[in-house]
Homo-oligomer: A and B are copies of this chain.
Amino acid sequence: MKQFTIKITCKDEKGLVYRISEILLENGLNIIKNDEFVDNEKALFFMRTEVSGIADPEKVIDQLKKQLGDCSIELSQNESKNVVVLVTKEHHCLADLLIRNQFKDLNFNILAVVGNYENLRELTEKFNIPFIYIPAENITRAEHEEKIKTVFKDYNYDYLVLAKFMRILSPDFVKDFEGKIINIHHSFLPAFIGANPYKQAFERGVKIIGATAHFVTNDLDEGPIIYQDIIKVSHSKTAKDLAKMGKDVERIVLANALKLVFEDKVFIDGNKTIIFE
């Protein structure tokens, strides 16, 4: 008995579920969990179905593709996702991911860590993960990104995770990896979009701070939001305290977002996400 997940995005029309479930039945598959949603504004149909049975998953997908025509159909056999992590200087998200990787707490494999500073090499190598140092100094953004892309070629990755990678990616770079890049933003978007959000939060005297994990796209704003969370703060916290407290939110928000993506529960729908939890 195999268990696998199928993700389908189609232009909405009547009979989709019937046509899909017919194929699942013909293949002797049992539906364990199924979610469907229609985005009425865009007339798009989203479906995620977990099935079990003895059929060949690839064959099922082929039949679905024939039956449904112009739809996006993805198969997931719950395999670990392969990931390259990009970092700058801050350790907290990277350390969290390294631990989860080491103990298989998250459905992923870290293939490599790319950093524009050296300081996270020691931490990364403790966990026997290659650390690739690509400094950004004295070269153009385009040159730096070209070097990063060259590294990517060595790895068969599914996703790029920006774990506090503090450089702005060029539209060209983002375009090349559309839907593949996940970032953790150190504020509750769309509040405090610019630099130094914790300083901004301190100066504004907010009573709540947060973090946002999102796909990186070339849309306005910061791309489709996957997960957000917050903590309450008081007047007695300095900007530095907020930054420190915020790190704990960032770590957990990034981990939760990755869990959703790596369990194939997330669809990108324009500048939004559809998430079947």
Contact = CB atoms under 8 A, between A and B. Distances in A.
B205 A227 contact: no
15 contacts: A14-B30, A18-B18, A18-B24, A32-B38, A91-B99, A92-B99, A95-B103, A99-B99, A102-B123, A188-B208, A190-B206, A191-B191, A205-B224, A232-B232, A248-B252
Nearest to A222: B204
Interface of A: 12, 14-18, 21-22, 24-25, 28-38, 40, 91-92, 95-96, 99, 102-103, 105, 123, 126-127, 188-192, 204-208, 210, 221, 224-230, 232, 234-236, 244, 247-248, 252, 255, 269, 271-275, 277
A146 to B, nearest CB: 32
A208 B221 contact: no
Given A190-B206, A208-B210, A33 B37 contact: yes
Copies of the chain in the assembly: 4
Given A190-B191, A244-B105, A207 B235 contact: no
Nearest to A192: B190
Given A30-B38, A95-B103, A205-B224, 16 more contacts: A17-B24, A31-B36, A33-B36, A34-B36, A37-B235, A102-B123, A188-B191, A190-B192, A190-B204, A205-B225, A207-B228, A208-B210, A234-B275, A235-B269, A235-B273, A235-B274
Contacts of A99: 91-92, 95-96, 99
Contacts of A102: 123
A277 B33 contact: no
A107 to B, nearest CB: 11
B28 A17 contact: no
B15 A25 contact: yes
A17 B49 CA distance: 11
A221 B234 contact: no
A22 B18 contact: yes
A28 B14 CA distance: 7
Given A103-B95, A208-B229, A225-B207, A35 B38 contact: no
A33 B38 contact: yes
B29 A14 contact: yes
Contacts of A21: 15, 17-18, 21
Given A229-B208, A234-B277, A247 B105 contact: yes
A274 B233 CA distance: 12
Given A31-B36, A31-B38, A99-B99, A208 B230 contact: yes
